[in-house]
Structure 1
Amino acid sequence: MKFYNINNHKEIINFEQALKTGLGKNQGLFFPNFIPKINFQNIEKILDMDFINRSSYIISLFIKNEISLENLTKNIYKAFNFPLKLINITSNISCLELFHGPTLSFKDFGVRFMSQMLNYFNKQEKMIILTATSGDTGAAVAHAFYNIDNIEVIILYPKNKISILQEKLFCTLGKNIKTISIDGNFDDCQNLIKKSFEDITLRKKLILNSANSINISRLIAQICYYFEVFSQILPDNRSNVIISVPSGNFGNLTAGLIAKSMGLPIKKFIAATNSNDTVPRYLKSGIWNPQKTIATASNAMDVSCPNNWPRIIELFQINNWNLNQLSSQSISDYVTEQSILKLYNKYNYITEPHSAIAYHALQVKIKNKEAFGIFLGTAHPAKFQEYVNKILKITIKLPNKLTHYIKKENLSYNFPNNFSYLKSFLINNYIQ
């Protein structure tokens, strides 16, 4: 399969090139030149497969001419070596817990697949991975690429705007992982990354890539767990599924919409955001008007200009879908807290702010008892221990994965929100 640049349809490349390039000309995102279709009978068959083999089959539909199914399966086995759990909250609302990977975040799926694919395709060239994070991406990227030969990783994050536990997970590794706190917000970090890709000197001297959700490999990997959730649902509930997705950069939702486009019978999606409500306002008014990013409790979703929104627009146009079919809701921090309390007091379920936002948007929309609602659990509540403990007045025990890193030294640099500092750092450290 080929992939084209949404901003320049003449730029058409294969999966390996898209994997290594990340972003196309004019900051264009790559997109499959067609969406593979799976008929109902075949969907029923692949839902009976185990997660690894089903994921290999799904991903092979996008890249089978570049890697054998055997090698693909081996790499997916290394990437997806942790469980997914569908937890029943009520008779018709469940949470798909995607946070049982090494960094306790759903982003482990996409980033670990990307790292395995880069390791498979990239044998000789020294590559620099530039990534911005508003929370969980940094840890997922750092751990996925840690100690991989010929790959250096630089992660930018907004200073004092992510939790200490999030920071410790990726700022303590060292070796091929460099971390830089920026005096600004996530959008500022993202803009610095984009300027790096646009800089002629850096592009000539370095092989740059990004592990943000702009990379098509992450998106393809995320499609797989939407099929997995259907395999865990009773067949009688599969015809009326509504999925609520906590949305920041909108990569997770894009993957779900691709799964629906492939033939997975998802009835409806809800794009649940925090107070950074660019998309909900756009869906109501038709006017794209990003405003200044607001710091919220759900910090991984503190994004005003979601990178993946152009892919969603492209997908709706390709399928001739109406954007009115996409539901969206903005949730305040106060309502987020109340949702965390409700899930604990009424259902004895502990969650964190991102997943709580998705839950609230879902339970507001589900009025039909025949509907089966799923909200995505995107991060382990222990990653927001202080916040959740304060709300619930309990003490969440830290998993061993977190206690190991909390005691380690933070190795980050700190830069002002000025591209010249980042450019000098790249030139001085990576250009010989």
Structure 2
Amino acid sequence: MKLVNLKDAQQQVSFTEAVKIGLGRNQGVFFPESFQPLADVDALLDKPFAERSTEILYHLIGDELPKDTLSEMVQRAFNFPAKLVAVDDTHYCLELFHGPTLAFKDFGGRFMAECISLFNQGERVTILTATSGDTGAAVAHAFYNKPNVDVVILYPEGKISLAQQKLFTTLGGNIHCYAVKGSFDDCQAMVKSAFLDDELKQTLGLNSANSINISRLVAQVCYYFEAVAQLPKEKRGKVHVSVPSGNFGNVCAAMIAAALGLPVAKLSATTNQNDTVPRYLDSGEWAPNATLESLSNAMDVSKPNNWPRVETMLERGDFNKHDFYSRSVDEDVTQSVMKQLHEQGYLAEPHTAIAYQGLVQDMDADACGVFLATAHPAKFKESVEAVLNHQLDMPKVLTDALLKPCLAEPLQADYESLKQAVMNKIS
């Protein structure tokens, strides 16, 4: 797999190198120069999830990984289902919250952990990541107690749900968490600064587990095939997919799936009130505003790291830009849609409701729609119960985590504070 730094085309690397480097020169992300369609998508859709995912990833990565090794990695990483649930005859929800931390990022986090463990061959590595809610838990659990690995997680203090926070701040051991006095964008900027610091990179063997890392991104491609595989065959021809979008990695994975031949006719990247991309598509001006807090906090991102990848695919025609939609959904509409879905018998948290709204706004009458549920409703217990006036049952993994003390340390939103804290903790 040949990957190019989108900010420095002279930096070209293999998949293995891209996984180990994480972020390229000039804070550029790595991305394939092109995508080759799969030979027989229909045949692939008839295969079991893990077997199909191995074929897809082998097609993307190439022979850098022996196929039998890749198969073992996939079986360990994807050992839980992605369930497609019918809301009505034409709208289906892909539930991606059946993994160990109840969020879609379990897929990418666990596959990345498999890759890092294989590629580093016992060398010391420090995973540094920012989280707007679910990445922290997925990465922490994927790497927890793995030898020669430390994990440093930054999150915006008071801006993620308590359940999200407790899933990763209570682990301890090789998981080091910092509550940053700022926004997710502040956390993300600190991570980027760390990757420009040669001293820190060399001392700690730094790597990133955000969707910056190509291993997470390619893993996410697989569950879009799983969604279509679970549809009735007569509904697979014209599928409209809607993805709740913050950092735009998840919708980028959907676009890659389409480029490989998955029959995705339209694609919606629906945001909350942090609407940098919808405004950019309307005006042509990239003008991020200050990040606003919302019910859908995992999407409270004003400067999405993965937008350059999405824009690259649109510009070179990997996906028809006229079939790509990005609209914003405000707080009032989010709550209204949550209630609407609940009346239809489907319990949705805010991110899922936003994806549903994005779907119904632009879906053709003769299409089949798939919208994503990226996290379990119980991870947003307080807001869901308040909006729906409905008592939620709590999964055991959450009730256990909520009883444990938070081990995170406070941190100012500046890079030197982070560097000092991490060097004192790990080096």
Whether TM-score is above 0.5 comes out as yes
2:352 is equivalent to residue 355 of structure 1: yes
Please give the TM-score of this superposition, normalised by the length of structure 2. 0.98
- Residue 350 of structure 1: how far off its partner (Å): 0.5
Hey, what does 1:118 align to over in structure 2?
116
Hey, what does 1:24 align to over in structure 2?
24
Contact 1:197 1:203 in 2 (8 A): yes
Q: What is the aligned counterpart of 2:161 among 151, 160, 163?
A: 163
Contact 1:296 1:333 in 2 (8 A): yes
Contact 2:242 2:371 in 1 (8 A): yes
Please give the TM-score of this superposition, normalised by the length of structure 1. 0.97
Distance change >3 Å, CA 322–CA 234, structure 1 → 2: closer
- Residue 44 of structure 1: how far off its partner (Å): 0.7
Contact 2:105 2:135 in 1 (8 A): yes
> Aligned partners of 1:15, 1:280: CA distance in 2, in Å?
31
Q: Which amino acid aligns with 1:352?
A: E
Hey, what does 1:103 align to over in structure 2?
101
Q: Which runs of 5+ in 2 are unaligned?
A: none
Hey, what does 1:36 align to over in structure 2?
36
- Residue 236 of structure 1: how far off its partner (Å): 1.1
> Aligned partners of 2:404, 2:82: CA distance in 1, in Å?
29
Report the secondary structure of 1:304's partner residue: coil
**Superposed CA offset, 1:342-362 (max 9, x none):** 0111x1110100000001111
- Residue 120 of structure 1: how far off its partner (Å): 1.6
Q: What is the aligned counterpart of 2:388 among 385, 392, 395?
A: 392
Distance change >3 Å, CA 34–CA 364, structure 1 → 2: closer
Q: Which runs of 5+ in 1 are unaligned?
A: none
Report the secondary structure of 1:362's partner residue: helix
How many residues matched?
Answer: 427
Hey, what does 2:78 align to over in structure 1?
80
Contact 2:259 2:319 in 1 (8 A): no
> Aligned partners of 1:8, 1:175: CA distance in 2, in Å?
37
> Aligned partners of 1:260, 1:182: CA distance in 2, in Å?
37
**Superposed CA offset, 1:378-421 (max 9, x none):** 00001011111111112101001111111001000001112111
- Residue 341 of structure 1: how far off its partner (Å): 0.4
**Superposed CA offset, 1:287-320 (max 9, x none):** 1111100000000000000000000111122326
Contact 1:283 1:324 in 2 (8 A): no
Contact 2:255 2:319 in 1 (8 A): no
Distance change >3 Å, CA 166–CA 334, structure 1 → 2: same
Q: What is the aligned counterpart of 2:333 among 335, 350, 358?
A: 335
Q: What is the aligned counterpart of 2:400 among 400, 404, 407?
A: 404
> Aligned partners of 1:313, 1:44: CA distance in 2, in Å?
28
CA RMSD across the alignment:
1.1
- Residue 367 of structure 1: how far off its partner (Å): 4.8
Hey, what does 1:193 align to over in structure 2?
191
Contact 1:283 1:323 in 2 (8 A): no
- Residue 64 of structure 1: how far off its partner (Å): 3.1
- Residue 187 of structure 1: how far off its partner (Å): 0.2
> Aligned partners of 1:21, 1:44: CA distance in 2, in Å?
35
Contact 2:153 2:176 in 1 (8 A): yes
- Residue 323 of structure 1: how far off its partner (Å): 3.1
Contact 2:178 2:410 in 1 (8 A): yes
